Chain A
Amino acid sequence: MLHAAVLLPFLAAFFIPFIYRGVKQVHLGWFVLLVPIVLFGYFLTFIENVLQGVHTLKTFEWIPSLSVNVTFFIDGLGLFFALLITGIGSLVVLYSIYYLSKAEKLGHFYVYLLLFMGAMLGVVLSDNLFVLYTFWELTSISSFLLIGYWYQREKSTSGALKSMMITVFGGLAMLGGFLMMADITGTTSIRGIIENAEMVVQSSLFPFILIMILLGAFTKSAQFPFHTWLPDAMEAPTPVSAFLHSATMVKAGIYLVARLSLIFAGTDLFFLIVSGFGLLTLCWGSYMAVRQTDLKAILAYSTISQLGMIMAMLGFGTELAVLAAVFHILNHATFKGSLFMVAGIIDHETGTRDIRRLGGLFTFMPITATLALFGTFSMAGFPLPFLNGFLSKEMFFDSSLKFQNASTIVESVSPFFPYLAVGGSIFTFVYSVMLFFRTFTGKQRDELPQKPHEAPIGMLLSPIALILLVIIIALVPDIFAHALLSPMVDSITGDVGETHIKFWHGFGPPLYMSLAVLALGTALYLTRTKWERVYNVLPGKLSAAKAYDGIINGLITGSKKLTNVYMTGSLRHYMIYILVFFVGLVGFTMSITGGFRIAFDDLAPLAAPEILIAIVMAIAAFGTIFMNNRIAAILVLGIVGYGLSLLFVFFRAPDLALTQLIVETVTVALFLLCFYHLPNFGKEKESKRTNAVNWIISISVGVLVTMIGIASHSTKFFEPISDYFLKNSYKMGGGDNVVNVILVDFRGLDTMLEILVLGLAALGIFTMIKLRPGKKEGND
């Protein structure tokens, strides 16, 4: 049943194109909407079980030989994310029905969206590292497809490519970490590894494992300096931004860190990296958001900064911090989801998202404006009892102050954390306020592309639902804390403490921090024109996007240069590479395995005629090199061939001798036919260096071949299979000539393919002689 639930979106994605073709009157979204709603209802039924501590586990053996099983596992953490994905998913699909007109390629859109939904469910529910990885990359791919949905726009495709490059790079690093972890613990199950967490932490590879896995999490969750793909991902249709790039996919990294917290948390390295980068991302994201002018770009940087904040709290690792983190995941999904939808509405109804052109929209779209008011003020952490953002932000401040049982490193670093937290939050306050006031108040600045008016009710439904959630969560947080958050904290930290969330904490440092944010934020907002120039200093000309472009361009030009160094187009060079590697590899293997051996005890007796022929052949072979005349060279080559057929006679191989004789005759005739059409050997002399290189290479090949030949008959590892042919030739093949029986019977297939080769060669020859390049194409 659980497998069917994860499979459902994929199945639906498969059938969507058929429905799209068949039913034209109804917007495709209505059919799609059923999927997340059904799944949401299904996952709701698990809450009771999870609360009682019953974890559902369903296994399907996929690749048993590698112990890769599709095991789905529902605990508090997985369930919360599953509900988030399907819940927000339902609202986003509903919203998209009004956002995307029927003229768009809806079939593509919903197929990608469903793919993503299934993949994301797979990520948060799977218990197997490698299944998780597979789904993880599938989310990257569906995100790529969705960002590039309007593929005729250049920005969309480049944004899609960027997100793909960065997230897949992180994904690969993560896979490396997973492999090491699975190797150390001997299990691929996440629960199994958590049980053996000690083995991972005490392993000498631990720093690598941690850093590689965190690379995956940080790239996916857009942590500094990998955040640069997220603003570019805003080219996607707004429902996608609301769903993937704020509520769910970018939280996959958070999920991963949370899921593996039981393994890593408690180590200083984990603490330093995760909370350090988290706080850095919080500050940088909010600082950069103030500078943006595009509504969605502001929201993108704001998402980056909020993700950093959640990441930092997971890094703190205290029970309070983790509770605050999971609470904020929920809150962020509600207010940021609704804000994205509001941004989409503004774009849809006015034709622009540029806040420099917007203003005074309150009178035109009062409902949207009210929604935005709640959303932005919740995001800012405005101290009002009906804004959930304030509750989790205050918990964040609180948790940045309290570190128990801390090691020396934690103790020496943690005093800075409250300042960073306040600093990031001040800018959060500034951009939130800016987002609202510059869009909805003041005077309308210039003519908008469309005359603004209130959005249709269907489009408003989803953001209204989310804003209602903002208020409900803020008013009765304990219901959510009890049903959803405490099982999650249990999954992340391993034990449940007190999960009571309240608005009023009394006078204390967290409240003072909130008030400081309020006061300083207001001041900064009002004076922003005076300090805006600071952005010329920091970041100035630095930007992660430029670094990304530089790296990508460098890689492309670098690999081109490298390729040009060895891909010279000269056949001789390619031959040299092949031969040098042949000599190097075989020679090296022979020398380290002691493969060369020479035995004199089991040799055929020497005979004068054979030796004589051998000498003649050797002279003739080298003779071809020094001949300046074509005919002479060809005839001398003939001597080698005829000598070989004579040798075959001495070596008791009558069939070979006959064949060789005929083939040699025909070959010489062919050579003589062809040489007439080819120019004579050039008189131009090669440089001494080229000649020396040629000689060195050819002699080393020759020596190596001789050594292999001698070694091969001097060593005997096993009985040859030749006796089998001698014994069975008559019995099974019905022939006395063993060689013939082998060719046409025992190894008949080889001979058939040999005929095929000859046939192809004949066809090739025929084509080359007959076919003349068409004059019409104008090539020749």
Chain B
Amino acid sequence: MEIIMSVLAGMLFTAGVYMMLQKQILKIVIGTALLSHGAHLFIITMGKLNRGKPPILSEDVTNYVDPLPQALILTSIVISFGVTSFLLVLAYRAYQTNGTDNMEKLRGNDNE
């Protein structure tokens, strides 16, 4: 199962990176969202899958899954949500101000 999940994480990365290399802002934002999904899957896979009960302590259980990756991912989910919403609004403002959502046209100028 870990191998399959690693492959899936790799595929999510592939799709995410491909989207990030596009010109349109919306596609880039979708790319970052895919990338963070891939990263979450990647982290949980690294901690080995399904080796016990959920990490909620109870008297009769001795074997739990690794809680640490879960804690890391929980932080990461929230942060990537923040980043995604920030990027979306940035895309919105950039389009409103500049009149284009094509990153190739938003290159800045020499004085910057």
- Given A614-B5, A624-B34, check contact A742 B68 (CB 8 Å): yes
CA distance A267 to B27 in the complex (A): 69
Q: Which residues of chain B in 42-67 are interfacial with respect to chain A, using CB atoms and an 8 Å cutoff?
A: 42, 44-58, 64-67
Inter-subunit contact A768/B93 (CB<8 Å): yes
Interface set, chain B 20-52, CB cutoff 8 A to A: 20-30, 33-34, 37-38, 40-42, 44-52
- In the assembled complex, the CB of A77 is this many whole angstroms from the nearest CB of chain B, namely 54
A652 CB within 8 Å of chain B: yes
> Measured between C-beta atoms, what is the minimum distance from B22 to chain A in Å?
8
Mark interface residues in B75-112 (1 if CB within 8 Å of A CB, else 0). Answer: 10111011111101111110111000111101110000
B74 near A698 with CB under 8 A, answer no
B49 contacts A621, C-beta separation under 8 Å: no
- Say whether A660 contacts B77, CB under 8 Å: yes
B residues less than 8 Å from A761 (CB atoms)? 82-83, 85-86
* Residue among A618, A633, A677, A729 making CB contact with B30, cutoff 8 Å: A633
- Which secondary structure dominates where chain A touches chain B? helix
Question: With A and B bound together, what is the CA distance between A721 and B72 in angstroms?
Answer: 13
A698 touches B18 (CB 8 A): yes
A656-B74 CB under 8 A given contacts A644-B40, A682-B24: yes
**How many chain B residues touch A (Cβ–Cβ < 8 Å)?**
87
> Quick one: which of A700-743 are within 8 Å of B by CB?
701-710, 712-713, 720-722, 725-726, 729-730, 736-739, 742-743
A710 in contact with B6 given A637-B30, A659-B78, A663-B78 (CB within 8 Å): yes
* Inter-subunit contact B71/A604 (CB<8 Å): no
- Is the CB–CB distance between A736 and B56 below 8 Å? yes
Is the CB–CB distance between B21 and A739 below 8 Å?
no
Q: Smallest distance from the beta carbon of B18 to chain A beta carbons, Å?
A: 4
Which residue of chain B has its CB nearest to the CB of A643?
B37
Cross-interface CB contact of A653 among B44, B82, B86, cutoff 8 Å: B44
Select from chain A the residue with minimum beta-carbon distance to B45. Answer: A709
- Indicate if the CB atoms of B1 and A659 lie closer than 8 Å: no
Q: Specify which chain B residues have a CB less than 8 angstroms from the CB of A411 in the assembled complex.
A: none
Within 382-397 of A, Cβ neighbours of B (below 8 Å) are at: none
Q: How far is the CA of A625 from the CA of B12 in the complex (A)?
A: 11
Binds B, one of A345-353, A470-478, A567-575: A567-575
Is A674 within 8 A of B91, CB to CB? yes
Task: List the A residue with the shortest CB-CB distance to B10.
Answer: A706
B contact residues around A654 at 8 Å (CB)? 54, 56
The smallest beta-carbon distance between B14 and chain A, in angstroms, is 3
A417 proximal to B (CB < 8 A): no
Let me know if B95 and A743 touch, CB within 8 A. no
Chain A residues closer than 8 Å to B12, beta-carbon distance: 617-618, 621, 640, 702
Q: Interface segment, A215-223, A228-236, A747-755?
A: A747-755
Residues from 625 to 675 in A contacting B, C-beta threshold 8 Å? 625, 630, 633-634, 637, 640-641, 644, 647-648, 650-656, 659-660, 663, 666-667, 670-671, 674-675
Q: How far is the CA of A641 from the CA of B33 in the complex (A)?
A: 9
Q: Which of B41, B74, B88, B101 contacts A671, CB < 8 Å?
A: B88
Q: Which residues of A contact B53 (CB under 8 A)?
A: 652
CB distance from B6 to the nearest CB of A (A): 3
Q: Which of B14, B23, B33, B82 has the most CB of A within 10 A?
A: B14
The interface residues of chain A lying within 8 Å CB-to-CB of B33 are 637, 641, 667
Residues B5 and A678 in contact, CB atoms below 8 Å apart:
no
A624 contacts which of B30, B84, B92, B103 (Cβ < 8 Å)? B30
Partner of A698, one of B5, B14, B90, B91: B14
A710 touches B88 (CB 8 A): no
Instruction: Say whether B70 contacts A656, CB under 8 Å.
Output: yes
Whether A575 pairs with B19 at a CB distance below 8 angstroms is no
A679 with B95, Cβ < 8 A, contacts A617-B12, A659-B78, A743-B71 known: yes
Q: Does A611 contact B (CB under 8 A)?
A: yes
A663 vs B8: C-alpha distance when bound (angstroms): 21
How far is it, in angstroms, between the C-alpha of A462 and the C-alpha of B77 when the chains are bound? 77
Docked pose: A663 CA to B20 CA in angstroms: 21
Add 6 more A-B contacts to A621-B15, A739-B55 (CB < 8 A).
Answer: A570-B103, A607-B1, A621-B12, A678-B26, A710-B2, A738-B67
A-B pairs with lowest CB-CB distance, top 3: A702-B14, A706-B10, A569-B107
| A–B complex contacts, Cβ < 8 Å, 5 sampled | A579-B17, A652-B50, A677-B92, A709-B9, A761-B85
